[in-house]
Amino acid sequence: MAIAAGRLRHRIDIQQKQTAQDPVTGEETTTWVTLWEKVPAAIEPLSAREFIAAQAMQSEIKARIVIRYRDGLDATMRILHGSKIYNPAAFLPDMDSGISYLTIPCGEGVNAG
């Protein structure tokens, strides 16, 4: 099943956390680096509460984001849309081919690292 281009009307940035150690003080600093910017996406807020189990904790899913398929994504990343930060629970491939699009159930909130 293909995704209609008009459905992907939002633009998101996908970021990955990177840590670095200060050579002088030895302090470890965390920053978020944008891997992909302005990725076409469909953001669908969910009206009902959906829960998933993740390492014996439950995360509340607030939105579903759909993007075209791309490699290298994992749940340690975060997604930015305007001023909102989304924390992906998983990147689920489509059921038909597995390489057309990804569905991303997300929680909302602060993810400063």
Domain that holds residue 90: 12-108
Residue 68 sits in a domain whose CATH number is 2.40.10
Whether residue 50 is contained in a domain is answered as yes
Report helix, strand or coil for 5.
helix
Whether residue 7 is contained in a domain is answered as no
Whether residue 2 is contained in a domain is answered as no
The answer to whether 78 and 88 are in contact (CB under 8 A) is: yes
Split into its structural domains, the chain has a count of 1
Whether residue 58 is contained in a domain is answered as yes
Whether residue 44 is contained in a domain is answered as yes
Whether residue 92 is contained in a domain is answered as yes
| Those residues with Cβ within 8 angstroms of residue 72's Cβ, 6 or more apart along the chain or in another chain | 35
Whether residue 24 is contained in a domain is answered as yes
Q: Which one has a higher pLDDT value, 2 or 72?
A: 72
Q: Which one has a higher pLDDT value, 76 or 1?
A: 76
Sign of CA pseudo-dihedral 30, 44, 49, 75:
negative
Predicted TM-score (pTM) of the model is: 0.78
Tell me what percent of the residues of the chain surpass a pLDDT of 90: 49
- Whether the pLDDT of residue 107 is over 70: the answer is yes
Whether residue 1 is contained in a domain is answered as no
